[in-house]
Amino acid sequence: MLPLQEISDRIEIQDLFARYSFAIDERDWAALDSVFTPDAKIDYTETGGAKGSLADIKAWLPTALERFPMFQHMVATTKLTLDGDRATSRTILFNPMTYRAENGTDQVFFIGLWYRDQLVRTDAGWRIAERHEEMGWSHNVPPMPPIPQAGV
């Protein structure tokens, strides 16, 4: 039987990942402050994105995601290793997206990837201290220009 603290930690971390998904999907960049530590290191480069601090990424996201009118971040199946007030995880992400081309046409495509995270327990609860987006696969990705690196 799992100790109550471990059960609580696992549920809190699962909620943390859900909060991240909703913050991105609702374009609520300020909500990321309750997901990451202030000094977090975030690396989206494997999927063509930016790498930087939380502030860098929050400045970059609105421009980077502007050409995608719709997307969903569906996280599932987390491999989690708890070690006191620290944890590591690898979590599956299924990410359907709609790309809007310059001529106004939309194309739906799919990405499968993993988030590799370093997590820490803070006074405000669990937070992501490091996130690396690891590319898995893609389907039906349209040709598109590189994601802008504005703000980073």
Total count of domains within the chain: 1
CB 110 within 8 A of CB 138: yes
Give the tens place of pLDDT for each residue, 18-43. Answer: 999 999 999 999 999 999 999 999 99
Question: pTM of the entire structure?
Answer: 0.95
Is 152 a domain residue?
Answer: no
d(CA 83, CA 70): 37
Give the tens place of pLDDT for each residue, 59-116. Answer: 999 999 999 999 999 999 999 999 999 999 999 999 999 999 999 999 999 999 999 9
Is 150 a domain residue?
Answer: no
d(CA 70, CA 66): 10
Domain that residue 93 falls in: 4-139
CATH (domain of 53): 3.10.450.50
CB atoms under 10 Å from CB of 114, counted, come to 20
Helix (H) or strand (E) run with residue 111 in it: strand 106-122
Residue 2: φ, ψ to 5°? -75, 140
